[in-house]
Amino acid sequence: MSSGMSSRLAVNKTYKQFVGGAFERSESGRSYPVVGAGGELLAHAVRGSRKDVRDAVAAARSAQGGWAGRTAYNRGQILYRVAEVMESRRDEFCAEVLRAADGCSQAAAAAETAAAIDRWVWYAGWADKFPTVLGGANPVAGPYFNLSVPEPAGVVGMVAPDEPPLLPLVSRLAPVIVSGNSAVVLASERSPLVAVTLAETLALSDIPAGVVNIVTGRRDELVPPLAGHAAVDSLDLTGCDPEQAAAAARSAAATITRVVSASSAERQWADEAAQSPYLIDAFCETKTVWHPKAR
Partner 1 sequence: MTDFSAPGRQVEPVGDFSLDYAPAPESTAPVRLGAQYGLFIGGEMLEAASGQLAPTVNPATGEALAEVSVADAADVDRAVVAARFAWEGGWRDLPGAQRAKYLYRVARLLQERSREFAVLETMDGGKPIRESRDLDVPLAAAHFFHYAGWADKLDYAFSGRRAAPLGVAAQVIPWNFPLLMAAWKLAPALACGNTAVLKPAPTTPLTALLLAEVLRDAELPPGVVNVVTGDDATGAALVAHPGVDKVAFTGSTEVGRMIGAELAGTDKRLTLELGGKAANIVFDDAALDQVTEGIVNGIYFNGGQVCCAGSRLLVQETVADAVVGRLQRRMDTLRVGDPLDKNTDIGAINSQAQLDRIAELVASGVAEGAELYTPPCVLPERGFFHPPALFTNVSTAHRIAREEIFGPVLSVLTFRTAEEAVAKANNTPYGLSAGVWTEKGSRILWMADQMQAGVVWANTFNRFDPASPFGGYRESGYGREGGRAGLLPYAELVA
Select the span of 54-62, 107-115, 200-208, 279-287 touching partner 1 (CB under 8 A): 279-287
- Is the CA virtual torsion 174, 175, 177, 183 positive or negative? negative
Euclidean distance between CA atoms 32 and 239, whole angstroms: 19
Residue 242 C-beta: closest distance to partner 1, Å: 7
Query: Closest approach of Cβ 280 to partner 1, in Å?
Result: 12
Distance between CA atoms of 112 and 198, rounded to whole angstroms?
Answer: 14
Contact criterion met (CB below 8 Å) for 166 and 116:
yes
Q: How far is CA 159 from CA 106, 112, 128, 227, 234, in A?
A: 27, 19, 27, 10, 12
Rounded to whole angstroms, what are the CA distances from 241 to 160, 170, 219, 220, 283? 11, 19, 10, 10, 21
Backbone φ and ψ of 66, nearest 5°:
-65, -40
- The nearest distance, CB 75 to partner 1, in angstroms, is 16
Nearest-CA neighbor of 209 among 58, 76, 34, 92? Answer: 58
By CB under 8 A, residue 285 contacts partner 1: yes
- Cβ partners under 8 Å of residue 80, min gap 6: 120, 121, 124, 125
Q: Can you tell me which of 29, 139, 264, 295 binds partner 1, judged by CB under 8 A?
A: 139
- Strand, coil or helix: what is 237? coil
- The window from 70-78, 181-189, 195-203, 243-251 that contacts partner 1 (CB under 8 A) reads 243-251
Whole-angstrom distance, CA of residue 259 vs CA of residue 76: 26
Return the range that interacts with partner 1 (CB under 8 A); candidates 43-51, 100-108, 216-224, 252-260.
Answer: 252-260
Burial class (CB within 10 angstroms; exposed 0-12, middle 13-18, buried 19+) of 39: exposed
Q: Which of 29, 38, 39, 142 binds partner 1 (CB under 8 A)?
A: 142
Q: Which of residues 149-168 bind partner 1 (CB under 8 A)?
A: 153
Specify the stretch interacting with partner 1 by CB under 8 A; choose among 30-38, 157-165, 206-214, 248-256.
248-256
- Interface stretch with partner 1, choices 34-42, 119-127, 189-197, 280-288 (CB under 8 A): 280-288
* Single residue of 8, 38, 141, 295 touching partner 1 by CB under 8 A: 141
At 185 the three-state DSSP class reads strand
Among 173, 252, 262, 280, binds partner 1 (CB under 8 A): 252
Secondary structure class of 215 (helix, strand, coil): strand
Residue with Cβ nearer partner 1 (22 or 254): 254
Judged by CB under 8 A, which stretch of 30-38, 56-64, 72-80, 255-263 contacts partner 1? 255-263
Cβ 259 to partner 1, closest distance in Å? Answer: 8
Minimum gap (Å) between residue 255 Cβ and partner 1: 7
Residues 17-76 that bind partner 1 (CB under 8 A): none
Minimum CB separation of residue 257 from partner 1 in Å reads 8
Instruction: For partner 1, give the closer residue by CB, 48 or 135.
Output: 135
State the residues that interact with partner 1 by CB under 8 A: 133, 138-142, 144, 146, 148, 153, 233, 242-243, 245-250, 252-256, 258-259, 263, 265, 271-273, 276-278, 281, 285-292
